[in-house]
Structure 1
Amino acid sequence: MAETGVVVLAGTPIGDAEDAPPRLLRLLAEADVVAAEDTRRLRALATRLGVTIGGRVTSYHEHNEAARAAELVEAAAAGATVLVVTDAGMPGVSDPGYRVVRSAVEAGVRTTAVPGPSAVLASLALSGLPTDRFCFEGFLPRKAGERRRALAELGTEPRTMVFFEATHRIAETLTAMAEAFGADRDAAVCRELTKTYEEVKRGGLAELAAWAADGVRGEITVVVAGMVPEPATAADHVGEVLTLVASGHRLKEAATTVAERSGVSRRELYQAALAARDQSAGYRDASSSSSSKEAD
């Protein structure tokens, strides 16, 4: 058998052809097999890039992905360089690519990637929302009930969330998001990124839903801020302090310990715990007095 080849996942432009990485151009010309989500779009891209595809072109899309993955991995195992591309963006990110990687891993065939344009990362960077932690949720369910349930599960998600959505569903989706996350939750709708009519609309979800009601065209990504938890108060941690006191700790010592791990003011926590302890003691004394009178 020939020396083992490689499966290469390569990002393609999401709009502007000048964003194509040089390595993509070289691989389009040199790869033995080029697997494309849409072969016509691939050839159109090659024309825009001024590249002649040198190898065999085959289709690789959601309807034949499972079966075609085995063929591509077999070709790579025989020594071929197999290039996998999608219509736009990175293979495997809401596009075909995952199954061929899994098949290659299981077969012990080398895989690598050509990093390139990504609507997810471009939208996240342009949104103006926190980027230190985020999650990609892809397309939400089309049916209203399933979409509500999916959004409800994300109601307490603290990370910035990135979604894809179709133009004819964007207004409905933004409205559902406003209902699930709150009308004022910050978000951004990014459309036609890197293209002539690129636009990023930022605001609260209800505001964006109203804006989208008249229709929004183009490729769309929605970025939504995660939930910001309510700051903890002394009252939230009084029980922890009293539990430590009950186990033998002094009140000040217990308040200091809990304050350090909760971030709550030690003074406020001490005062709240003191008041709660005194109130509890007063209630017990009153109960004891009432019981004595009844006994008399």
Structure 2
Amino acid sequence: MKENAEQKSGHVTTRRLLDMKQNGEKIAVLTGYDYTIARILDRAGIDVILVGDSASNVFSGHTTTLPITVDEMIYHARAVVKGVQSATSRAMVVVDMPFMSYQLSEEEALRNAGRIMKEHECDAVKMEGGSSIAATVRRITDAGIPVMGHLGLMPQSIYKYGSYKVRAQEGAEAEELMKDARLLEESGAFAVVVEKIPSALAGEIARSLTIPVIGIGAGVECDGQVLVINDMLGLNREFHPRFVRQYADLNTIIEDAVGQYLEDVRSGDFPSPEESY
């Protein structure tokens, strides 16, 4: 994907995202974790597929994102990249660096980022944090690896926060978040996600940065939006936060389909003569 990115006129790159911001064109991002969904998202025209460490929750059933490993992220990313390549090859694929894959040292972070990029040909990695990771972001971007930042509510730090409440509501934290956003840009990040912060603050950050600001629970003034695919498709009945717009109720559709299948198998209606050899 990397070698012929420029040859694919439709392939979304970091330059394309910057142009979209400058032109006032909103950026649409969704998470993806497997080949089939990646093909669908790419064909639908999504700009960026984020292989999120939220796979820890929606695929493995963990209560936080912390348990997922680099190997597991690479497994999901490889499937997503293959899905995009088998469709239109339009979507940019960004991969989350999981908890403790970049916090130990700049060298360890660069090693893991390089491995993620090399083993499945994704377009970029994403990291959570501001001033604490600025030097690491610079080190990785200097090596030629694009980095997307993540500020506000940072799920990898959930035990530090103690809750999933809105971040940066107070002046001091809001000011620190603004400084961190500017620092990430100065360190070479090509975009930054802001999660669950006041809309006014998110808008101020988007206007103050030259790089795209992607919001999740951060209002409409961001340069783009990201949602977890399982949430927006209604696959999770137990989780429906305020910032998620549910575009389908696949939970009910799948349950109904499976129920009909059970009935047909048990009644002998399936398979029919036409469905048999």
Using the size of structure 1 for normalisation, the TM-score is: 0.26
Using the size of structure 2 for normalisation, the TM-score is: 0.27
Larger Rg: 1
